[in-house]
Amino acid sequence: MKIELLISDRTDDLIAEGADIALRLGLGPLADSAFGARLLASAPRLVVASPAYLAQRGVPHTLADLSRHDRIVGPGLLGRRGWDFGRAGSVTSVAIDGRVQVASAEGVMACVKAGLGIAVVSRWMCRAELERDEVRPVLSDYVLEPVDVHAVYPAGPHPVPKVRAFSDYLAAKLA
């Protein structure tokens, strides 16, 4: 199997790109399409900031505290309209006007580590930084909707064997 990896936060046309498979990250179900799709994994999300930022600006303890903090929002529409927090069976939406808007997940983490503000990220995005104490979780009493990772393929509901094998591999690695 030969793999050519193209990384983009855009939703490119698989057929026009000649791609056998794409990974789509998002909240909730995928938009309807003629493509086949398979949910590979869901990643919990959390709110993080750098220790230096928290030392300078303080730790937010309530959702109202977010208005006094700089917010970093990432690629696509994920988080640009607001952050939805769950707690005790109810959901509260917080309008977010990001001080920094970044076009890539890596850029979001770079901005957080540089102390530019607070961001919502998947646990996958920040696992290493959490382990090294380069970022810290805040507002841990609240739950955010997980980000889903789907494999999308243009072959309809039954992918060709190489796509099935690759998506099986990814599902096992992401589990």
pLDDT digits (tens, 9 = 90+) for 36-68: 888 888 889 999 999 999 999 999 999 999 989
Kindly report the average pLDDT of the chain as a whole number.
84
The whole-angstrom separation of Cα 128 and Cα 86 is 25
pLDDT score recorded for residue 20: 81
In the chain, how long is the greatest CA-to-CA distance? 53
Question: pLDDT tens digit string along 94-138?
Answer: 887 777 888 888 899 999 999 999 999 988 889 999 999 999 999
Instruction: Answer whether 42's CB lies under 8 Å from 147's CB.
Output: yes
pLDDT grade for 146, boundaries at 50, 70 and 90: confident
pLDDT score recorded for residue 76: 60
For 4, phi then psi, to 5°, come to: -115, 115
Q: Look at residue 28 and tell me whether its pLDDT is greater than 90.
A: no
